Amino acid sequence: MSAYSPGLLQPRPPLAETADLTTREFIQFRDLIHEETGIFLGDSKRMLLHGRLLRRVRELGLPCFGDYFELVKRPGEHAEFVRMMDLVTTNETQFFREPHHFDYLEQKALPEWVAAAAAGERDKRLRVWSAGCSSGEEPYSIAMVLLSHFPRQQGWSVDILASDLSTRVLETARSATWPIEKAARIPERFLKRFMLKGVDAREGELRAGREIRDVIRFERINLADDPRPEGGPFDIILCRNVLIYFSAERRAEVADNMISQLKPVGLFLVGHAESLRSDGRLVCVYPTIYRTPSLRSKESLRPVESDERKWRRP
């Protein structure tokens, strides 16, 4: 018997090992996912969707993918839809991904903000949104950089919102614990100051230290809902390797909403395979790095050379 309301699903034979996701079923799932989240699954993703949903369909004792579709779209079954999206979404990340982003921050943007605060031209509150944070490596990376440049003892405050659609990866991010192999991608100066190495029962694990854990908060956010999360407007928005999963129309809508939540002279960082249209609200200062136009000299918008020696490549 199903764990769900009796009578709504009639008992049928168990799902066969070779059961296929029909074209009709794939289109139903694809359209539902696109409507609810903005993520678009092209025809090439049919086998991927089949593989990721098959186990869950079996766990529920359902005879076919069509019955699972009826379940996830049913009013009152939002929790199952969230679980389905945990299975569907791809969450791949690492510490200090896209090294040139961190080069730009340390060489250009952050020194400018320090100087602006000293001149009384900005406050000492830094607000960051890591959208599509996956298992947390991105927000913890940016936390290390910001806390190195903006010490609390000098009156600075750093607040980082880390969001994702997947509850599964958010739990990993909240735990702030990863395999020790992840440490290889963290610059040594940050590794020694901010990270902890597991001992005894925790041997083989890496954990974020209290200093960076305290400045990050996690929240499940669906970017397709045009959210306006608490804590904005933001100095930096990282939306890296996320926009590529949206259809072209929804991609523009999501980007527009997020750009509207940037502070003056704020930064919008995207992934290496992404770009944003130029409509006057943002200036591209380096590939994949966009900035709201400065009221000061245009000299501040010149790109910098990336010092690749500072960062380990994947």
Active-site positions read 52, 164
Sign of CA dihedral 209, 215, 220, 222: negative
User: How far is residue 87's CA from residue 168's CA, in Å, rounded to a whole number?
Assistant: 9
Sign of CA dihedral 110, 98, 168, 174: negative
User: How far is residue 70's CA from residue 244's CA, in Å, rounded to a whole number?
Assistant: 28
CA neighbor of 2 nearest in space, from 66, 65, 58, 44: 58
Bridge partners of 196, per DSSP, are: 207
Residue 186: how many other CB atoms lie within 10 Å: 22
Instruction: Evaluate whether 238 touches 130 at the Cβ level (below 8 Å).
Output: yes
User: How far is residue 311's CA from residue 309's CA, in Å, rounded to a whole number?
Assistant: 6
The two three-digit tokens of residue 50, written as one number:
């089949």
Beta strands 205-208 and 195-197, pairing class: antiparallel
Q: If you count them, how many residues does the chain have?
A: 314
Beta strands 125-131 and 234-239, pairing class: parallel
Torsion of CA 113, 115, 120, 125, to 10 degrees: 30
